[in-house]
Amino acid sequence: MRLPLKRIFHEKRRVTIPLAAGLLLNVAVYAGVILPLSARVRGAETQARASLQQLQAAQREDNEARGMAQGRDRTDAALKAFYKDVLPPNFAQARGASYLRLSQLAEQHNLEWSGRQGDRESEKDASLARMRMSMSLRGDYDDIRRFIYQVESGTDFIVIDSIALRQSTEPGASLTFDLSLSTYYHVGPDGA
């Protein structure tokens, strides 16, 4: 069965013309207004997402920078405390404290002194200088091992640079070891 569209359109012209005009107007508004606006909204949403990602990246960078600054501040404070509380303020105190501590440790571990020597080493315009020490001790292996452990793990800032171990050719003789040690101290305005 075929619909007589022409006849329906002709007889119901009063209703179909406004409906067709409304339909055309809706299509025109949709094509002319709604589609461009929805494209703009999609573009704005995309831009908003990109801006949000940039903001989050900037916040992460800011947090990292703040963390680095706080880490630097903590490191500076720890370094100042180390300079103030651990390192001796001059060469005389560095020498006295180091020799006293090493003498005490040697006695505590039944080691015999056979010599010691200390020298200064500093660079121009440096705030720290190095005191190098060398010493020879004699004793058995376990005492030497405990002595070295105490020096390395002690609260004094004494660093063992090198160790040379010798054994006498005599039977039952103890070991002799030569130590090269270092410590650091503050350099005063006169270089001392």
Q: Given phi > 0 = left and psi -120 to 50 = alpha, else beta, which region is 21?
A: alpha
Q: What is the pLDDT averaged over residues 67-81?
A: 90
User: Does residue 69 register a pLDDT over 90?
Assistant: yes
Number of domains in the chain: 2
Q: Which domain holds residue 3?
A: 1-85
Q: How far apart are CA 172 and CA 65, in angstroms?
A: 63
Q: What is the pLDDT averaged over residues 85-104?
A: 84
CATH of the domain at 169: 3.30.70.60
Q: What digits encode the pLDDT tens for the residues 147-186? A: 999 998 888 888 899 999 887 666 666 788 889 999 888 8
- Cα-only R_g, the chain: 43
Q: What is the pTM of this model?
A: 0.57
Do 122 and 96 reside in the same domain of the chain?
yes
Do 130 and 154 reside in the same domain of the chain?
yes
